[in-house]
Amino acid sequence: MNVGFAAQENEISITLGGMMQHSPTVTGDGQAPAQPRRRPDRRLLIDGRLHDGSRTFPSLNPATGAVLGHAPDATVDDARAAVAAARRAFDETAWSTDVALRIRCLEQLYDALRAHRDELARLTIAEVGATEALCQGAQLDQPIEIVRYYADLLKTYPLREDLGLIESRGAQHRRWVEKEAAGVVAAIIAYNYPNQLALAKLGPALAAGCTVVLKAAPDTPLVTLALGELINEHTDIPPGVVNVISGADPEVGEVLTRSPDVDMITFTGSTATGRRIMAAASDTVKRVFLELGGKSAAIVLDDADFDTAALFTAFSMVTHAGQGCALTSRLLVPRRHHDEIVERVRNNFGLVRYGDPADPKTYMGPLISERQRDKVDGMVKRAVAAGATLVTGGQKVDPGFFYTPTLLTDVDPDSEIAQEEVFGPVLAVIAYTDDDDAVRIANNSIYGLSGAVFGSEDRAVAVARRIRTGTMSINGGNYFSPDSPFGGYKQSGIGREMGTAGLEEFLERKTFATVVTGAQA
Which residues are designated catalytic? 291, 325
Cα 204 to Cα 300: distance, rounded to the nearest angstrom: 36
List of E strands, 311-417: 330-334, 389-392, 396-397, 402-403, 406-409
* Cβ contact 454:301 at 8 Å: yes
With a CB cutoff of 8 Å and minimum separation 6, the contacts of 181 are 90, 96, 208, 209, 210, 506, 507, 508
Cα 189 to Cα 211: distance, rounded to the nearest angstrom: 16
**Rounded to whole angstroms, what are the CA distances from 144 to 78, 196, 199, 362?**
28, 8, 7, 23
- Pick the closest to residue 440 from 283, 297, 255, 294 (CA basis): 297
Q: Is 55 exposed, middle or buried (0-12, 13-18, 19+ CB in 10 A)?
A: middle
- Pick the closest to residue 338 from 256, 414, 408, 287 (CA basis): 408
3-state secondary structure of 429: strand
Cα 426 to Cα 192: distance, rounded to the nearest angstrom: 16
State the virtual CA torsion across 282, 288, 294, 299 in degrees, nearest 10: 120
Percent helix, strand and coil across the chain, each to the nearest 5? 35, 25, 40
* Cβ contact 1:69 at 8 Å: yes
Cα 78 to Cα 71: distance, rounded to the nearest angstrom: 14
Cα 519 to Cα 445: distance, rounded to the nearest angstrom: 61
